[in-house]
Structures are given as C-alpha cells and as structure tokens.
Chains A and B, each alone.
Chain A
Amino acid sequence: MQLEDRMEESRARPPRGLPQVKPMEAGPPVVSSRPESQVVFDLENVEVFYGTFRAVSRVNMKIFRNEITAFIGPSGCGKTTVLRSFNRMHDVTPGARVAGGLRYRGAEIYGPNVSATEVRRRIGMVFQKPNPFPKSIYDNVAFGPRMSGTNSKADLDVIVEKALRGAALWDEVKDRLKASALGMSGGQQQRLCIARTIAVGPEVVLMDEPCSALDPIATARIEELMRELKSRFTIVIVTHNMQQAARCSDRTAFFTTELDSKSDRRTGTLVEYDVTTKIFSNPGDERTENYITGRFG
C-alpha cells in the first residue's frame, strides 16, 4: 500500500529535473489561444515529402503575431523541415513537396499562382551559419531595399540605419559601414544577417538555429535582440537548445520522430504545442516530459 501511495504522490508532483523557467519580462500575458485576427500561420494537416518519403507528418498548429514561437526536439524530428516550408525554401530541393493547408494570414502559401519571391518578402529567414554577402556592411543591409526599387541614397541611409539599430549593431559599425562584412566576428555577422532580413520589411522572421555557430556571449546578445524584435515582428525559431527555448519563447512546439509503419523509416511529428511555461513545467505528453528532463534526445 505504501508503495502505491508514494507512486501516486510522485505522479502528482512535477517531475524533477525540469529547467527553471524565468517569467517573460515584457509583453502581454500569453494565453493559450488568441483571436483569429492574431493568427499569422495556420497549419492544417501539413506534411512534407522528399520524393515518396514522408519526412513530416500531419502538423496542426497556429502561430500568433508578435510572439516568439520555438520549435524544439531531437535531431531529425522535422523542426527545420517545417520551418523551411513557411518561406517556401523547399522549392529549391528537387523532389520536395509540401502537402496540406499552410496559410499565412489567410492566404495559402502553396496556392496556385503564388510567387515564392512574394512570400519571402514577407517572411524572412536567418540561417544557422551567418551568410553575409562579400560586400560592405552597408551594401549587405541595403541589398533588399535596392532590389525592391529604392535607389536614392537618402532613403537607403535611413533604412540601413533603422535596420542596423533594430539589430543592435548600429553603434558598433556606424563608423565603418563601407568595411567588408566578412571582417566581422561571427556574432556580428549574424546580427548583420538579421539587419539585412529586417531591412526588407517582413512581418515574420524565421530563425533556423541562429546561435548554434556562436559563442555564449554572442548567443546571449541575439536572445536579447529577439526579445526586442518581438514587438515589431513575429518570430519562429528552431533550436536544439531547449534552455534557450525556455528562456526566450512565448510558445513552444515539441517535435519528435515516429516509426512510419508503411515505410519503416522515421517520420517527424508534432507532439505538443503550448505556452512555454506550461510545456516546461507541466507537459501534457510523456514524450515531451522525457525530452525535457533529458531522458532521451
């Protein structure tokens, strides 16, 4: 009897070993669901195929405006695959196909006649390895606006400064805007890539493990930057560092792999998606709990 009582007790208590979650410092309280007008991405049974192989199965979720949403999970679970489907990056992979309904503020991203270029103007992306162009800092940031037709130096100056300030890089580079971007440190390059992305004027910034190539100090600066950017953009970030997700995000989606009974290979699947504090303190699914407490992954 005593043993069973103790087991009852431990099940009621939150499992040990969960990372401490600091409450969000700013912004409105995050509720479980928000009105339709605040939905930025609406995924309905989204699946991603590489040829006949189903890499990601049946994702259903809504991503909300001006929040930071984190995708976490073990490697190969499809979190990056889902992220890249938001801005149609799979178009460049031969044989890749996205099925299901993926709507950006009501418009089907994979609808007929949709132009990937138009999608990407509204949904930007920052990559794992910083990839500035071999041009000057100024030209990197001005690249997007120039492409859209802004050519007057006065206009470009304003846009470049605003973007660099937004990326918390202005003070460091304002005296050497003409210097080559490749001469900067990794953390600076990544912030430059962020500046370059926001200079285009998107609504969403996708981030694919933006800090994994950076040292802890640079990482902390980027995380701080993310919190500032939240007020102007919607941010979706893939991270293999769940403490980062716990620190920075409003909502977290946990993905994992499942054995696909048909193909005998592992398919990525969305396990749980909820407000971050809930995921990390009282996850609903056992798999989430196992990942978070480090029992696997």
Chain B
Amino acid sequence: MELDLRGSKAYADRAFRWSAAAAAGLVLVVLGLIAITITGRSTPVFRQMGLQFFTTTRWSPADALFGALPFVWGTAFTALIALAIAVPISLGMALFMTQVAPPGIKRPMVYLMDLLAGVPSVVFGLWGVLVLSQLVGLGRSFMTAGIILAVMIIPIITSLSREVIETTPPGDKEGALALGCTRWEMIRAAVIPHSAGGLVGAIMLGLGRAMGETIAAALVIGSALGQITIRPFAPGNSMPAVIANEWGEADALHKSALIALAVTLFIITVVVNLIASTIVQRSMKKAQGL
C-alpha cells in the first residue's frame, strides 16, 4: 500500500487558501465594478452634451445644459487654497516635531495630530457653517471651504512628512553641525535635500484628499453656480459639493450629469493619489537602500 502523505486535511487547507484569495480579489472586483457602473450610468449626459460637458461653463438643469468646468475649477481652486494654508503649517509642524521638539513634547504632539485626524468631516463642516462662516468676511465661500479642508489634511501631510524626514541619515546632520551650521542651516543642508522628494509626495497625498473631501466642502462652499472666479471670498462650488447638494431633487438626466461629475472626480483623485504614493514609496525605498 502506498504511503499517502496527502492527508484528509488537504481539501480544507486548499479551500482556506482559495477563500483567502477570493477575499483579496474582492478589492479588484469592487474597484472594477465601481469604474464600470459609474461610467455606465453617466452615458446619458454624454449623449446629450458630448465632450462639451467638460468645456461648457453653464450648468442649468432646467435647460438640460450641463457644463462641468465651473465645478472642476472649484475643486481645483479650493484644493489650492487648502494646500497654500496646510503645506507651510504641516511642514513647519513636521520639522518642529523631528528637529526641535524635546522628547517630552513630541508625544503630546502626536496625540494632537491623531485627535485632529479623528474628528469626522461632517463635524468640521458643521463647525464651518455655523461658526467659521459667521466670522467677519468669510461667509460660505471658497476661502471658508479651503480653510476647513486645510485643517483636515494637515494631519496626513504632517505624519507622512515626519516619516520622510526621519529617514535623514544622522551622519549627514552631524556633518553639517560640525561645520558650524545653525539649526536652520543644518535643516537646509542635510534634511531638506534628502527629504524633498518624499515631501512632494506627502503634499500630493494631501491634495488628493482635499479634492475628494465631500461633506465639509458641501456645507461651506456656498453652492454658487456658473461663474469661474478667482475671488476666494466669493461663494463657489466644487464637484463633490454639487453632487451632494443637488442629488435629492435631480431628475434622471440631471442625475446622470452628477454621476459624470463623479467619474471625473474619480479619475482625477485616483491619478493624483497614484502619483503621490509612487513618489512617497520610492523616496522611502531610496532612504532605506542607501
């Protein structure tokens, strides 16, 4: 009789492996479904408007006229304002935590950031619309939305920047100090050149997050229609905001236009996030391989 080393558990073992693989594969299935379904549902508006959907500036559901440009602009503009505010603060915070703060102060700072990251976006939106926008001069505008988004993306940019900065080889920093550099000169000579790439990636991830953030923006951006303006204190609109705000009362064609906006948003944020994570990963790998 042959020695059967397979054992009766072989089936169970293989079944487990396959179910685990299926669970992993779910990511691909869901992502694929998302792409297919939302693209599919957006076709009516493209049949109506063609590619002019992306170039028209008027958005008038009553006239079946749908131009995405103001919302794409609004998303970009708010994200830019958010970055302009968040990046210097995040970098300053990251440099403080890694280069200046004594160990006893660093830990509370980490908790501070975690706390900030933990506040749900809708609560930020609530505060934004009932408190911040009541402040003189702000109202519901690009600026208010930009401020709220900035507050929301600071934790992520800071924590990633910290990770990148901490990979600076201590030998480089010591070398700069030994030459008589002040602290800031040392940071400029040893820390920043080393971290620059990774920091760009961290900033881009913040950008991706700012563009995709829906609820806070929807509450405070002002839901204006149509104009493309560079006045930051004007009420504005963005892709996620208009989708959230207009969905409830939209008819079928209108809905498909909103879904088309979602497709646009999807593609833009995915591209930005991908570029960003590639940059960050490559910079971390470079730091470890050195």
Contact = CB atoms under 8 A, between A and B. Distances in A.
Does A touch B (CB under 8 Å) in the complex? yes
Interface of A: 87, 89, 92, 94, 117-118, 120-121, 124-125, 127, 129, 131-135, 143-144, 147, 193, 196-197, 200
A124 B175 CA distance: 10
A277 B169 CA distance: 39
Interface of B: 102-103, 169, 171-182, 185, 189-190, 193-194
A196 B103 contact: no
Contacts of A197: 178-179
Contact of A134 (B103, B185, B194): B194
A172 B102 CA distance: 44
B107 to A, nearest CB: 13
Contact of A94 (B102, B176, B179, B182): B102
A133 B193 contact: yes
B9 to A, nearest CB: 53
B175 A193 contact: yes
Given A133-B189, A143-B189, A120 B175 contact: no
Contact of A92 (B172, B177, B185): B177
A35 B146 CA distance: 70
Given A94-B102, A127-B171, A133 B190 contact: yes
Given A127-B178, A131-B175, 7 more contacts: A94-B102, A94-B103, A117-B181, A117-B182, A120-B179, A120-B180, A127-B174
B174 A131 contact: yes
A89 B181 CA distance: 12
Nearest to A148: B180
B170 to A, nearest CB: 9
B102, B176, B178, B182: residue with the most chain A Cβ atoms closer than 10 Å: B178
A134 B188 CA distance: 12
Given A94-B103, A131-B172, A134-B194, A125 B189 contact: no
Nearest to A135: B193
A87, A117, A121, A135: residue with the most chain B Cβ atoms closer than 10 Å: A117
